[in-house]
Amino acid sequence: MLSLHLSALQVVIPLLAAPLCAIIRIPGVTWLIALAVGIASSINSIAILLHINRFGEIVYSLGGWAAPFGIEYRIDSANALILLIISFIYLLGIIYAPASIKTEVPEKSQGWLYTAWILCFTGLSGITISGDVFNVFVFLEVSSLSTYILISFGQDKRCLTAAFRYLVMGTIAATFYLVGIGFLYSLTGTLNMADLAQRLPDLISQNTVAVAFGFVIVGLAIKMALFPFHAWLPNAYAYAPNAVTAFLAGTATKAAVYVFIRLTFEVFPEDYFSGFTSSHHIILAVGIFSAVITSAIAIFQDDLKRLFAWSSIGQIGYIAVGVGLASTAGVAASFLHLFNHSIMKTAIFMAIGGLFFVTGSTTTAALKNAGRRMPWTMAAILIGGLSLIGVPFTTGFISKWYLVSASLEQNFWWLAGLILLGSLVTAAYVWKIVEIAYFRKDPNVKVVRQEAPLSLLIPTWILVVANIYFGVDARFSGSMATQAANTILGVSP
Amino acid sequence: MMSASTIQLYCLVAPIVAVVLIVTVGRVFPILYETINASVAVITFLLTLSLYSALGEGTIESMVLFEPFAGVSIALQAEPLGILFAMMASFLWIITSIYSFGYMRGHGETNLARFNIFFAIAISSAMGIALAANGFTLFLFYEVLTLSTFPLVTHAGSDKARRAGRIYLFLLLGTSVGMLLLALIWTWILTGTLDFRAGGILDGDISKTTLNILLVLYVFGIGKAALMPFHRWLPAAMVAPTPVSALLHAVAVVKAGVFSILKVSIYIFGIDLLQELEVHRYLAYAAAFTIVATAIIALRKDNLKARLAYSTIGQLSYIVLGALVANAAGIVGGGLHMLMHGFGKITLFFGAGAILVATHKTEISQMRGIGRRMPVTMITFLIGSIVIVGAPPTGGMWSKWNLLLGAANTTDWLLLAALIVGSLLSALYLLPIAVRAFYHSPDDGNETIKEAPVSILIALIISAAGCIILFFAPDFAFDLMNMITSSE
Amino acid sequence: MESIGIVNYWIVIALMMIALYIVISANNLIKKIIGLNIFQSSVFILYISIGKVGGGTAPILLKEPAVYSNPLPHVLILTAIVVGVATTALGLALIVRIRSAFGTIDDQDVQQDIERN
């Protein structure tokens, strides 16, 4: 049946396209290929979603080898949602890319950039749909390696050290993960997630499971830039080319978060995370702490990309809070915020790219007069910022609502208070930007309307409109997130 | 004939139409900005009137606009208190548009398009607050109101305006996100609904401690009601042009705050439950303290707008107190005072703006004797002052009377004393301004002063006339408020 | 036989700690990469040790059925080795570019260079 092959296509298409790009290397052609991959994958991800809503989860054995022996792709509503996010952010990122990287990357390297980009997308898709923990490791490395390359295309030479540091951290992370699944394999003799989920409950009291759990959690925490393993992220986001930052901000950490949720709640025995080891308290504490603290750090940044990179770490903190609540409502809030944060943060970074295109800088000083000079670009940053704060009629508000109600559901009123306190800290750094852009006038400069080109503005504004749309009508995103949480926590709706 | 439930939507949409017209027609003919606003304001007022008459024929059906997620909807449902608020806001918007024509141009302000656009958006969100069918909708429009008034407060774009804007935004956003949102979600978790229902949605099954905490969160979380210690934003907002101070910071924004408190007391807690909560008394004391403290501060302010701002904070606390004494007279008094104070204070601000345009004076000490040069302005100012004091022949008397009744019913003499002292002090800080303007001979250099532009005078006369008419014909407001208390 | 198995794991732990120490403490970027390599190798050894079955032969087709070691970990490790090689190559390539950009491959010097600008 063709529909079953959909899942394989999601990985196979980009995997074939990447070497093709590497051979051709003509910027325009490689871009077209990347675009085609994006369109195909986006359509494919929608098809998968529809298929799952209709017929339930897709199980696909790669190469026809049945599960315990072969690699299995298993897609349910949880990873279908993530897949949708990744595919669309990728597509918009590629549409956005040519005008943006034209100013940043020399023409002869652009072909390579698209190659790495497609590979990165392959890896992220693979992580999302694979039902095999070792296969996840391989895709994790595929995406990581190509991300290091993508970052090293930056203009500033500091991108090289940023990429190198990320490489060291990322490799340690992946190896930790590898150790963890090695232990799991030695206990159960399987690498298939579904099989692991079946066999692990009998072994729950073994120390080896706890050790494996620890290694896997730490490895993934580095990958998702969860505080205190976030050190690689600010520089990586700050020095990567603008288009790449926009793409990474919406996708890279998200796939890791997904694997984190999948493993802790589904593969490890029920209640292992929350009941048996009580480690959910740690994640909860770390999450809320980082949400508040890193937002405070963001206030003091002078570079917009770095500022919003810190903000991203804070937002990952919120997602971790939802995970740490270890309830359906909490995990649903996490999935929802994954979705919403991808939309808003990608839009912000795209708009910053537009700012760079016009002013040649991403420092806060470049924002002077920006409110009048490029009203559309600034409005995109403003709306994204408002969404980060959680102002009504933006997606951020819906996320906050879910998260706060999830924490109140367990009577964690102090947590709800802290989440909202985090919003205020967020407001501080967003307002810093607004004040510079709209109030600080340079009297010597005559303001000329000078907007970023349309090819940058259109993808940005698609996301801005999506941000507002899903902020008003959250039925789709909300129900998808709840469904995803129900699936993973094994709750029948 | 449109059904009443769709009219509710039109009340919100009409101001947005003004935005569209300003952007399209106004771009070609900038002179039309205020005319557009004024005519849309008239239409909005007529719409609210038709809601009022529809209310006579029975309850108005709610109108669900969106359902962002299951169980929570953005919906409109007009009820008596909301209609009162909407009628007041839209009527005063008409006057303000007339006023603003004279003021903004007379005072040489720039960026008129932006000004008028955000003004209309603010009114639209005030309508949203007035007609909200549930706490969720109310919160949404409450935040939109905060954000849309921010550009108005910082209109001047100066450093001072920016600093004021920061205080404005952080206090309003901080209290609403930090406490009001928390309280709303908590209520939602406890009851599964946020609909405003007669008799309240919270009931006795919930522990008293939780309810007490919730009440505190609501009362302080609605920062627009400016209860001390969250009052600083209001004096800060006075850097805005006068029409903004007049309509938004004497009427729409602050009244949205006390209106929300009334709504929460009546429709989320219910007066009976409020009575049982220990904390309502302490919150009433906080309001009483605010009344007296701000009156004393106002006495010491020489800047006219600052004095009026502190006076506003005090008068808002009258309404908060009316809600918190939790009896019928208090609620009626609170609702009436919302209306009466709206008319009175807008007259005072109009007066302050007229003086500014005509004389460029902002300090009270410089205003001696100007009454002889600007008789219309200062007579209307006097009428406005009498409303705030609560004496006849102005509508202020009815609301103060009912508030006093409400306080007396609690037999808590401290509250009653605070109300009376507050009124006496307001007489002390307001009346001398007008009196000195007439009885002193003009200072040097004031001989050349002329009366303010005609459109300003028209606005002043209408609003002052309103203050007096409300003394003789307060029946409709009484009827509306009695509808609420009788349905309890 | 059992003691030999345990020795393997001790070696894994020792290698892992040594490698992590190198990665953290070395200033020379190439040494950092070597540290990473050792770190990965320790995990390879871990996997291979898991797969070893006491007294088992190599997993090849014999005429008679016999006890054989588990081949799957070996296969997994083949993949992991490939990943490791790719990482090393990329790391070295980055070092080449860092050297041409900063004129040094010493981490501290690079940091100083960044702070100066």
| Strands in A155-206 per DSSP E | none
CB A427 within 8 A of CB B170: yes
Q: C50–A182: do the CB atoms touch at under 8 Å? A: yes
Dihedral of alpha carbons A433, A438, A441, A446, sign:
positive
Per-residue pLDDT averaged across A443-464, rounded? 82
Q: In this predicted model, what pLDDT tens digit does every residue of C14-46 receive, in sequence order?
A: 999 999 999 999 889 999 999 999 999 999 988
pLDDT classification of C3: cutoffs 50, 70, 90: low
Which residues of A are less than 8 Å from C71 in CB distance? none
Q: A185–C36: do the CB atoms touch at under 8 Å? A: no
For chain C, the straight-line distance linking the first and the last C-alpha, in angstroms and rounded, comes to: 60
Output the pLDDT for position A67.
Answer: 64
Q: B169–A427: do the CB atoms touch at under 8 Å? A: yes
Q: ω into residue A27 within 30 of 0, thus cis? A: no
Output the pLDDT for position B118.
Answer: 85
Q: C87–A171: do the CB atoms touch at under 8 Å? A: yes
Instruction: For residue B140, give the nearest of A389, A392, A408 by CB distance.
Output: A392
Listed in sequence order, the DSSP H helices in B327-453 are 328-359, 375-389, 396-409, 413-439
Nearest-by-CA chain B residue for A437: B157
DSSP string, B259-307: HHHHHIIIIII-HHHHHH-THHHHHHHHHHHHHHHHHHHHHH--BHHHH
Tell me, what DSSP letter sits at residue A274?
I
Q: In this predicted model, what pLDDT tens digit does every residue of A228-241 receive, in sequence order?
A: 888 889 999 999 99
Q: Does A127 touch chain C (CB under 8 A)?
A: no
Which residues of A are less than 8 Å from C98 in CB distance? 160-161, 164
Phi, psi angles (nearest 5°) of residue B127: -60, -40
What percentage of chain B carries pLDDT values higher than 70?
96
Nearest-by-CA chain A residue for B213: A413
Nearest-by-CA chain A residue for B144: A392
Which residues of B are less than 8 Å from A427 in CB distance? 169-170, 173-174
Output the pLDDT for position B393.
Answer: 82
Residue A258 Cα, gap to closest chain B Cα (Å): 23
| Chains in contact with B via at least 3 Cβ–Cβ pairs below 8 Å | A
Per-residue pLDDT averaged across A215-224, rounded? 91
Output the pLDDT for position B64.
Answer: 80
More confident of the two residues A166 and B322: A166
Output the pLDDT for position A90.
Answer: 93
Q: B185–A472: do the CB atoms touch at under 8 Å? A: no
Q: In this predicted model, what pLDDT tens digit does every residue of A121-153 receive, in sequence order?
A: 999 999 998 888 999 999 999 999 999 999 999
DSSP string, C22-53: HHHH--BHHHHHHHHHHHHHHHHHHHHHHH--
Mean pLDDT check: name the lowest of A247-256, A383-392, B218-227: B218-227
B488 pLDDT above the threshold of 70: no
What ipTM did this prediction achieve?
Answer: 0.91
Output the pLDDT for position A114.
Answer: 92
User: How far is it between the farthest Cα atoms of chain A?
Assistant: 74
Of residues B315, B343, B377, the one with CA closest to residue B94:
B343
> For the purposes of burial, counting CB atoms within 10 Å of the CB of B3, is it exposed (0-12), middle (13-18) or buried (19 or more)?
exposed
Q: Does B181 touch chain A (CB under 8 A)?
A: yes
Per-residue pLDDT averaged across B407-421, rounded? 82
Of residues B194, B176, B334, B177, the one with CA closest to residue B268:
B194
Instruction: For residue B66, give the nearest of A389, A439, A473 by CB distance.
Output: A473
Work out the mean pLDDT of chain B and round it to a whole number: 82
Q: B139–A441: do the CB atoms touch at under 8 Å? A: no
Instruction: For residue A148, give the nearest of C40, C90, C98 by CB distance.
Output: C90
Output the pLDDT for position C4.
Answer: 59
A1 pLDDT above the threshold of 60: no
Helices (H) and strands (E) in chain A, counts: 19, 2
Residue A89 Cα, gap to closest chain B Cα (Å): 23
A156 pLDDT above the threshold of 90: no
CA distance B264 to A109: 62
Angstrom distances, CA of residue B196 to CA of A80, A95, B135, B208, B264: 39, 47, 7, 21, 8
B1 pLDDT above the threshold of 60: no
B162 pLDDT above the threshold of 80: yes
Mutate to test the interface with B, among A292, A372, A394, A431 (most CBs of B within 10 A): A431
Beta bridge partners of A430: none
Mutate to test the interface with A, among C90, C95, C106, C112 (most CBs of A within 10 A): C90
Output the pLDDT for position B487.
Answer: 62
Per-residue pLDDT averaged across B84-93, rounded? 87
A4 pLDDT above the threshold of 80: no
Residue type, A134: F
Q: A160–C97: do the CB atoms touch at under 8 Å? A: yes
Output the pLDDT for position C36.
Answer: 93
Q: Does A171 touch chain C (CB under 8 A)?
A: yes
Size of interface A-C (CB pairs under 8 A): 69
Nearest-by-CA chain C residue for A151: C94
Which residues of A are less than 8 Å from C32 in CB distance? 168
CATH of region C2-116, choose from 3.55.40.10, 3.40.50.1100, 3.10.20.90, 1.10.287.3510? 1.10.287.3510
CA A393 centroid distance within chain: 22
Q: In this predicted model, what pLDDT tens digit does every residue of A16-65 receive, in sequence order?
A: 888 888 888 888 889 999 999 999 999 989 988 888 888 888 888 776 67
CA distance A309 to C88: 27
Residue A402 Cα, gap to closest chain B Cα (Å): 9
| Chains in contact with A via at least 3 Cβ–Cβ pairs below 8 Å | B, C
Judge C/B contact: 3 or more CB pairs < 8 A.
no
Tell me, what DSSP letter sits at residue A392?
T
Q: Does B28 touch chain A (CB under 8 A)?
A: no
Angstrom distances, CA of residue B430 to CA of A221, B203, B295, B375, B399: 63, 43, 10, 17, 18
Q: Does A68 touch chain C (CB under 8 A)?
A: no
Q: In this predicted model, what pLDDT tens digit does every residue of A110-122 receive, in sequence order?
A: 889 999 999 999 9
Q: C50–A168: do the CB atoms touch at under 8 Å? A: no
Which residues of C are less than 8 Å from A172 in CB distance? 20, 23, 36, 39
Which residues 189-248 on chain B approach chain A with CB closer than 8 angstroms? 189
Q: In this predicted model, what pLDDT tens digit does every residue of C63-100 receive, in sequence order?
A: 777 777 778 888 888 989 999 999 999 999 999 999 99
Q: Which residues of A touch B (CB under 8 A)?
A: 386, 389-393, 398, 400-401, 404-405, 408-409, 413, 416-417, 420-421, 423-424, 427, 431, 435, 439, 441, 471-475, 478-479
Q: In this predicted model, what pLDDT tens digit does every residue of B113-130 receive, in sequence order?
A: 778 888 888 888 888 888
Residue B68 Cα, gap to closest chain A Cα (Å): 4
Sorted by where each begins, the domain ranges of chain B are 1-263, 278-488
Which residues of A are less than 8 Å from C97 in CB distance? 152, 160
Q: A479–B157: do the CB atoms touch at under 8 Å? A: no
| Chains in contact with C via at least 3 Cβ–Cβ pairs below 8 Å | A
Which residues of A are less than 8 Å from B178 in CB distance? 417, 420-421, 423-424
Q: In this predicted model, what pLDDT tens digit does every residue of A185-204 receive, in sequence order?
A: 888 888 888 888 888 888 88
Output the pLDDT for position B354.
Answer: 83
A492 pLDDT above the threshold of 60: no
